[in-house]
Amino acid sequence: MAKSSTKPSTHHYDAIVVGGGHNGLTNAAYLAKSGLRTLLLERRTFVGGAAITEELHPGFSFTTFSYALSLIRPEIVQELDLVKHGFMPLYMRSSFAPMDNGDYLITGPDREENLNEIRRHSRADADAMERFEFDLSRVQQFVKPLFDNMAPNIFSGAPEDQEQVAWMLKHLGSAPPKVVHDTVRLLFGSIADFVEDYFESEIVKASLASPAIVGAKLGPMSPGSGLVFLYLAMGEHDGALGAWSFHKGGNGGFTQVLARAAQSFGCEIRLDSAVSHVVTSGGRATGVVLEDGTEFTAPVVVSALDPRRTFTELVDPLELPTDLVDAIRRYRFTGMASKVNFALDGPPVYPGLEGRTDHYQGFINVAPTIEYVERAWDTAKYGWYSERPYLDCSIQSFIDPDMAPPGKHVMSCFTQYTPYHLKHPDGTPANWDDERDNLGDVVQRTLAGFFPGFDDLVLHREVVTPLDIERTTGLSEGNIYAGEFLAQQMYFFRPAPGYSDYRTPIEGYYQCGSGTHPGGCVIGAPGRFASQQVVKDLAAKGAKKG
């Protein structure tokens, strides 16, 4: 595990990055690579933020929060030479969706086998799947350049911004009408409507549609759910669009790789260093002060925290324009997701698939129908958590045997819906500290419903509520994306209209967290783009001086 770098000989740096999550690490690595003396400050005793792996039960490694990789930009892997530092995304081979009637849908790496499996549920859905995947790939191809570039500032008249706006408009006008229309249907419509257009089988529809609500305060029938679906589909693993991988040692393994890469470029990492606030002088950032009073100075300070903390906690909002502070106040963070992680004595058994484990080589998607997920959402709309939650599970020790002792397993269960602002169905207040164990029971009961005998396998259980996510990682309201995925909070609106270019109104103060474009998920792009902005600004400043 990456240790604190040797004691800093000085308290002055070229750049300070606040927060050692994956975007902070990415940003710091790029800044150090560009030649800046860079210091990364992390509040906890290890880096990773929400991308960590912890041995919470002897021999069992848990991905406490985020649990798979897809969106990490391939250019980051190349530019930071991550393979040299141990980057190893393992192949998630299959997807398993149990059904209420004991049937199931298993998909895997082979196209023809998948079509055979889908045909068991609906003959028409087999070629519908081909059409769906092709149409989706056209949308992915169309959206990718927007995703892979900084968002243009449409509110600025500056020539370089107008050039970017012109590029964007030209790109938007370049695609066939159907592709543009499909994109808009996904961005603003519901995923349920989108898949209904292709499929008739409930399990096929639910398997495709349910990921659309991951981390969202939406049901699959809510308009806007298509956006989350599209966002998550923008990932890739080894060139396979929408495919996911599991990093060796979990996402904590991945952030350790990033830390080693950053240190190899000369970045200093200081752990146990909670930042109290950013020091400003005359509208410029000049450094940071830790909670213990230690000061570090630098002309560049980058916040990898979420927008609420970046603009209302690390700096005094009174130093910022009112429109920005207002926009950040409105910026929605509601956490809806929890994690329940299990240490298991052996693999769960699905009736009818006894003796088989090939269906455990990827995700287990507990969402038998779209209605199942929508009803889970119904409860949460009014503040209570789902009695039969949507679960996105993975028995990660099947993908990386080093996650658990031989023959034993760890199972990560992403759980939804569990609203951060909790209240009982009768309207009386409730809090997560009281409900944590009950939530664990709900998840366990749901799993036992599909995998009889599941309870007997459980050696250890870890329940991570939205409140725990907030407390441990600092993500406001436990929102896993550092800001909900809503059209009005994406692209040039992320995190606020006119402030999507990683700069802030305070000179020398930058933002690089998941709350900036194209953040959310383990993607790294905000950290990379922010570093480019810093380097560009320093070059311009140097040119002016020179």
* Nearest distance in Å: CB 29, other proteins: 16
145/427 with CB nearer other proteins: 145
Q: Does 356 bind other proteins (CB under 8 A)?
A: no
Window contacting other proteins (CB under 8 A); options: 158-166, 270-278, 399-407, 506-514? 399-407
| CA 3 centroid distance within chain | 25
Among 1, 3, 137, 431, indicate the residue that binds other proteins (CB under 8 A).
Answer: 137
Cα–Cα distance measured from residue 517 to residue 73, given in angstroms and rounded to the nearest whole number: 13
CB of 502 to other proteins, least distance (A): 21
Asked if 407 interacts with other proteins (CB under 8 A), we say yes
Does a cis peptide bond (omega within 30 degrees of 0) precede residue 417?
A: yes
- Residue 248 CB, nearest distance to other proteins (Å)? 7
Q: Considering only residues 55, 75, 100, 378, which one is a binding residue for other proteins as defined by CB under 8 A?
A: 75
Judged by CB under 8 A, does residue 349 bind other proteins? no
List the Cα angle 32/35/41 in 5-degree steps: 30
Sequence letter at residue 192: A
Q: What is the DSSP string of 424-450?
A: -TTS-B--HHHHHHHHHHHHHHHHHHH
- Give the interface segment with other proteins, choosing from 18-26, 52-60, 236-244, 446-454 (CB under 8 A): 236-244
From candidates 1, 35, 59, 74, binder to other proteins by CB under 8 A: 74
| Burial profile 21-52: b = 16 or more Cβ within 10 angstroms, e = fewer | bbbbbbbbbbbbbbebbbbbbbbbebbbbbbb
86 binds other proteins (CB under 8 A): no
Residue number with CB closer to other proteins (144 or 471): 144
Tokens 């009961």 -> residue: 445
* HSE, side-chain direction, 13 A CA sphere, residue 174: 13
Taking CB under 8 A as the rule, does residue 240 contact other proteins? Answer: yes
Minimum CB distance to other proteins smaller for 90 or for 364: 90
Burial class of 160 by CB neighbour count within 10 A (0 to 12, 13 to 18, 19+): exposed
Coil/strand/helix, residue 59: coil
DSSP of 241-255 = ET--EEETTHHHHHH
Instruction: Give the DSSP per-residue string, 209-273.
Output: HGGGGTT-SS-TTSTTHHHHHHHHHT-EETTEET--EEETTHHHHHHHHHHHHHHHTT-EEE-S-
User: Which are the contacts of 128, defined by CB distance < 8 A and separation ≥ 6?
Assistant: 122, 198, 199, 200
Q: Which 20-49 positions form the footprint of other proteins (CB under 8 A)?
A: none
Judged by CB under 8 A, which stretch of 85-93, 372-380, 410-418, 513-521 contacts other proteins? 85-93
Residue 363 token pair: 């995700």
Q: Which of 116, 131, 141, 378 binds other proteins (CB under 8 A)?
A: 141
Closest CA to 371 of 351, 392, 386, 354: 386
Residues 100-119 that bind other proteins (CB under 8 A): 108-110, 113
Question: Given the complex with other proteins, which of 137 and 438 has the nearer CB atom?
Answer: 137
Q: Angle of helix 250-264 relative to helix 22-33, nearest 10 degrees?
A: 20
User: Would you count residue 329 as binding other proteins (CB under 8 A)?
Assistant: no
Q: Which amino acid is at 15?
A: A
Nearest approach, Cβ of residue 247 and other proteins (Å): 11
Binding-site residue total for other proteins (CB under 8 A)?
33
Determine the interface stretch with other proteins among 233-241, 385-393, 441-449, 488-496 (rule: CB under 8 A): 233-241
Q: What's the closest the beta carbon of residue 255 comes to other proteins, in angstroms?
A: 17
Q: Which is nearer to other proteins, 200 or 358 (CB)?
A: 358
Residue 244 found at the interface with other proteins (CB under 8 A): no
Which member of 4, 8, 14, 88 binds other proteins (CB under 8 A)?
88
Which residue blocks in 123-237 are alpha helix, DSSP H? 123-147, 159-172, 177-188, 191-196, 202-209, 225-233
The enclosing H or E element of 535 equals helix 525-545
Q: Are 390 and 368 in contact (CB under 8 A)?
A: no
425 lies in the site for other proteins, by CB under 8 A: no
Could you tell me which of 2, 11, 18 has the C-alpha nearest to residue 274? Answer: 18
Using the rule CB under 8 A, which residue among 3, 11, 131, 144 binds other proteins? 144
Residue 71 interacts with other proteins (CB under 8 A)? no
Which is closer to other proteins, CB of 141 or CB of 431?
Answer: 141
Tokens of 100: 């209420």
Q: How far is the CB of 101 from other proteins (least distance, A)?
A: 26
Give the binding range for other proteins (CB under 8 A) out of 54-62, 138-146, 289-297, 458-466: 138-146
Choose one: 7-15, 84-92, 260-268, 517-525; the region binding other proteins (CB under 8 A).
84-92
177 contacts other proteins (rule: CB under 8 A): no
CB of 347 to other proteins, least distance (A): 10
With CB under 8 A as the contact rule, which of the stretches 6-14, 193-201, 401-409, 492-500 interacts with other proteins?
401-409
Q: Give me the residues that bind other proteins (CB under 8 A), please.
A: 74-75, 77-78, 82-83, 87-91, 93, 108-110, 113, 137, 140-141, 144-145, 238-241, 248, 358, 361, 398, 400-401, 406-407
